[in-house]
């Protein structure tokens, strides 16, 4: 087990001995802006390519609370802290200059950071020999946005949220339609230097929505961007920085070459992506067995990637018509019982979600490549969001749980990565 994961477990006692006490008026910025001398292109919603990008991480809702307003995005984030930034190389896309861009979420614009020559690109850093026509995405983490609230455990949230962005890329690409290949084994160190990142921001994942241009080889682009602050303040966390460095390299990981298949209606999927929300509570109502089977079919789909670490998904059935209560894994029945109250307790006593919901999920892994396996859990979580909302159900990701007690309940000793609840 990765030492960082073991050191950041929650327990009944730990969350009471070390409670988070926050000064919300000091909350960090969740938006990164490059200086005005970088060209900026506003996204136009009537343009399909612009809409493709907007559907990944654009703003889709605003919520007001006393003294504060929150802007929510297509991609979910723990605590609405949004520690991840989205960059991309665009090549051979109509209406777009070949270059490397940053998605400025606040202004719904693409900022051109570097203009590409025809024979250069980031492809070699990602393991590609030929020029890739389309989009090569890079996902980074500004960990202080999350550790400000979640302390040492924040690296887990950064990776889960990065996985959700990868899942959002996949969902938006289905509208093109185009398969999305996740890339975890790439030269993060070299690209971190190119982007001018210091220890405040670093890359964790990439994704390709692109096709190779056979015979058109490219060289690794070399550029040097200035450091741009994305949080406003910063407090160093040596534990998180060590965890990132020691989990950067991918070792002995097999690729997944099969693409997933989803049976979504194009128009309804588009509406679902735009209206996706995180549920704050459920009303203890049952879902149908057909809805359950649809969700299980989505869970069974492979994640196309260069590093396919196994993530096991356990499901607590609380309320499904014509199905026995109990714990399941991959559709197989493990043990009978009404575990709704137990699932709520294990999810850091969030009874309004894992107890009141129809289904409670726990994802685990014994894999070796920590960044890849954790981000895969986020991808699976995003697929559950899309599928549940598509069916008219609510969903909520849960990054906090009593790690060892979850292991005791499901009877394994793997790393617990994510909890999730679905219901009405």
**What's the fold here for domain 3-246?**
NADH Oxidase (3.40.109)
What's the CATH number of domain 266-423, 3.40.50.11810, 3.40.50.10470, 3.40.109.10, 3.40.50.150? Answer: 3.40.109.10
Say whether pLDDT at 67 is over 90.
no
Domain parsing of the chain, residue ranges: 3-246, 266-423
pLDDT band at 72 (very low <50, low <70, confident <90, very high): confident
Q: What is the mean pLDDT of residues 214-220?
A: 94
For residues 396 and 65, which has the higher predicted lDDT (pLDDT)? 396
For residues 62 and 199, which has the higher predicted lDDT (pLDDT)? 199
Say whether pLDDT at 1 is over 70.
no
Structure confidence at residue 23 (pLDDT): 62
Assess whether the region 3-246 and the region 266-423 belong to the same CATH fold.
Answer: yes
Structure confidence at residue 19 (pLDDT): 67
Instruction: Measure Cα distances from 6 to 9, 369, 403, 413 in Å.
Output: 6, 15, 9, 11
For residues 69 and 283, which has the higher predicted lDDT (pLDDT)? 283
Structure confidence at residue 21 (pLDDT): 64
Say whether pLDDT at 37 is over 90.
yes
């Amino acid at each position: 087990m990765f030492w960082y994961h073991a050191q950041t477990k929650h327990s009944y006692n730990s969350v009471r001995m070390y409670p988070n006490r926050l000064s919300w008026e000091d909350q960090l910025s969740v938006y990164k802006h490059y200086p005005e001398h970088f060209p900026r292109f506003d996204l136009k919603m009537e343009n399909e390519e612009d809409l493709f990008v907007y559907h990944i991480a654009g703003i889709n809702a605003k919520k007001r609370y006393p003294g504060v307003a929150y802007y929510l995005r297509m991609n979910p984030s723990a605590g609405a802290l949004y520690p991840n930034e989205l960059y991309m190389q665009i090549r051979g896309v109509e209406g777009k200059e070949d270059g490397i861009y940053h998605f400025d979420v606040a202004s719904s614009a693409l900022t051109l950071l570097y203009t590409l020559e025809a024979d250069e690109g980031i492809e070699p850093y990602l393991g590609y020999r030929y020029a890739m026509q389309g989009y090569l995405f890079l996902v980074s983490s500004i960990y202080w946005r999350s550790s400000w609230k979640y302390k040492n455990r924040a690296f887990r949230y950064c990776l889960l949220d990065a996985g959700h962005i990868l899942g959002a890329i996949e969902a938006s690409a289905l509208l093109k339609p185009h398969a999305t290949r996740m890339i975890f084994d790439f030269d993060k160190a070299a690209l971190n230097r190119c982007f001018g990142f210091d220890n405040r921001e670093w890359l964790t994942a990439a994704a390709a929505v692109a096709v190779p241009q056979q015979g058109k080889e490219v060289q690794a682009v070399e550029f040097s961007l200035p450091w741009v602050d994305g949080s406003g303040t910063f407090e160093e966390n040596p534990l998180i920085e060590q965890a990132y460095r020691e989990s950067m390299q991918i070792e002995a990981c097999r690729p997944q070459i099969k693409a997933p298949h989803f049976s979504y209606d194009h128009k309804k999927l588009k509406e679902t992506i735009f209206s996706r929300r995180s549920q704050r509570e459920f009303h203890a109502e049952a879902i149908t067995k057909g809805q359950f089977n649809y969700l299980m079919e989505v869970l069974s789909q492979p994640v196309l990637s260069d590093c396919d670490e196994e993530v096991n998904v356990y499901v607590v059935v609380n309320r499904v018509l014509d199905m026995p209560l109990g714990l399941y894994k991959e559709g197989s029945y493990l043990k009978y019982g009404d575990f709704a109250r137990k699932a709520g307790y294990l999810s850091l006593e969030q009874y309004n979600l894992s107890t009141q919901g129809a289904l409670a999920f726990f994802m685990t892994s014994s894999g070796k490549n920590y960044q890849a396996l954790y981000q895969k859990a986020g991808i699976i979580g995003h697929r559950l969001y899309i599928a549940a909302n598509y069916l008219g159900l609510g969903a909520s990701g849960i990054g906090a749980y009593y790690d060892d007690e979850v292991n005791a309940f499901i009877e394994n000793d793997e790393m617990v990565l994510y909890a999730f609840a679905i219901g009405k």
